[in-house]
Structure 1
């Protein structure tokens, strides 16, 4: 296994972290949450809110 380095997230990491957050919700909660709720929780507006947090 290749070595890796763990560092604190920086503001520049926000877009990638928001994409990961949204994708993980979609993969984890599909079939468990109402589709309309999941869509609202993972749409572009939700990703942007996550990115800005």
Structure 2
């Protein structure tokens, strides 16, 4: 995951939050807060050209 993926990843995160099953968070964090809480080597995105259809962290 690179900084240019932040908007797409946070949108995926927001959609996961909307299910009520993805996280204990109550609001989408800023990209800086999101990145600070995750290990850099454990963040991945799947991309299809300029589109990011999925993201994961371990």
Q: Structure 2 length as normaliser, TM-score?
A: 0.38
Greater per-residue strand proportion: 2
Q: Which protein, 1 or 2, shows the higher relative CO under an 8 Å CA cutoff with sep ≥ 6?
A: 1
Larger Rg: 1
Q: Structure 1 length as normaliser, TM-score?
A: 0.40
